Structure 1
Amino acid sequence: MAGSESHYILPLPTFDKPVRLLIVVAPWYKDITDNLVAGAQATAAKCGTTVEVIEVPGALEIPTAIGIAERMGDFDGYVALGCVIRGETTHYETVCNDSSRAITLLGLQGLCIGNGVLTVETLAQAVVRADPADQDKGGGAAAAALHLVALSRKWAGQTKGIGFRP
């Protein structure tokens, strides 16, 4: 069982300039996502991070909202939160795969995103993973976004140069 394993968790990064995070949440299972948001906000607060929360209709809309916010907003990083529970049709695979793939592609473009979209078999699994006092996947997603913001700031002024050297 995943809950009984021991894992190493990186210490949270520190920042010399303020950080702005956008939490994008699909509240289909509102009790679950409320816990994910609470965990993400608590982790962000530990780093003195300013947080804005927006809601979108479903997990498939999370990457689109992050893409719009990147183009039109002023955020350093993003936290994607939602919950997809397996049902009776293949819709579960579509939602899980496509939302995850789109979030990953945004990350590969340089966006600092923590992915906290739960993909579970049962509601009970979601409850444990979302609970800030248990697996705290919302807090983990915020921490991931903050670590990526720290990396992007670390490397922001560095250039590799182009062309020929004299």
Structure 2
Amino acid sequence: MAIGETHHTLERPTFDRAPKILIVVAPYYKDIADQLVKGAEAEIEACGGFHETIQVPGALEVPTAIGIAERMSNFDGYVALGCVIRGETTHYDTVCNDSSRALTLLGLQGLCIGNGILTVENYKQAEVRAEAAGQNKGGGAAAAALHLIALARKWGGPRSGVGFTPARDEYQIASAGKGPTVT
């Protein structure tokens, strides 16, 4: 964000039932990661939510951890946090692109994810963006996840008249009692 630039921030969503969020952080740059987590935790708590934090080795492992948690746990949403600083090789581009793409694919599958993995040119840029009392990108990622959870809850729930619904509480085999018996 350029200095002096203004942008619109949505109001915090409200919840009838507190959301449960998993924060997945890659603490490669620990002081940056700590600030991101601090901002995310404050935003989740401001909405009355609960959070758990886990650490993974790097930004590429964040989406995998979220995918595992989605299959094996019961979180409403996820906050992906970490920092990738450009170096002298193309590894930066690979990590940035692949972690972002994987998070996007998980989101398109219906997961509510806020992406707070910073992709910056230098350490100073990371400090400015991560600071919980400043740009607070960790809090912004948590807010994104919370807004997606609110949408999922708004549009979720039982649907009627859409898709296949059995006529009775019992299921019948299509060929049961009809035609010749095959042995």
Band the TM-score falls in, shorter-chain normalisation: over 0.9
Secondary structure of residue in 1 paired with 2:60 = helix
Q: CA deviation at 1:3?
A: 3.5
Letter in 2 for 1:57: P
Greater RCO between the two (CA within 8 Å, min separation 6)?
1
8 A contact 1:22–1:77 mirrored in 2: yes
Letter in 2 for 1:61: E
CA deviation profile, 1:80-114 (whole Å, cap 9, x unmatched): 00000000000000000000000000000000000
- Aligned match of 1:111: 111
Q: CA deviation at 1:4?
A: 2.2
- Aligned match of 1:21: 21
Q: CA deviation at 1:158?
A: 5.5
Q: Which is richer in helix?
A: 1
Point out where structure 2 has 5 or more consecutive residues left out of the alignment. 165-183
Identity of aligned residues (%): 70
- Aligned match of 2:133: 133
Letter in 1 for 2:117: V
Structure 2 length-normalised TM: 0.87
CA deviation profile, 1:16-44 (whole Å, cap 9, x unmatched): 01210000000000000100000000000
Structure 1 length-normalised TM: 0.95
Secondary structure of residue in 2 paired with 1:107 = helix
1:122–1:108 distance in 2 versus 1, CA, 3 Å: same
Point out where structure 1 has 5 or more consecutive residues left out of the alignment. none
What value does the CA root-mean-square deviation take over the aligned residues? 1.2
Letter in 2 for 1:161: V
8 A contact 1:3–1:135 mirrored in 2: no
Aligned pair count reads 163
- Aligned match of 1:6: 6
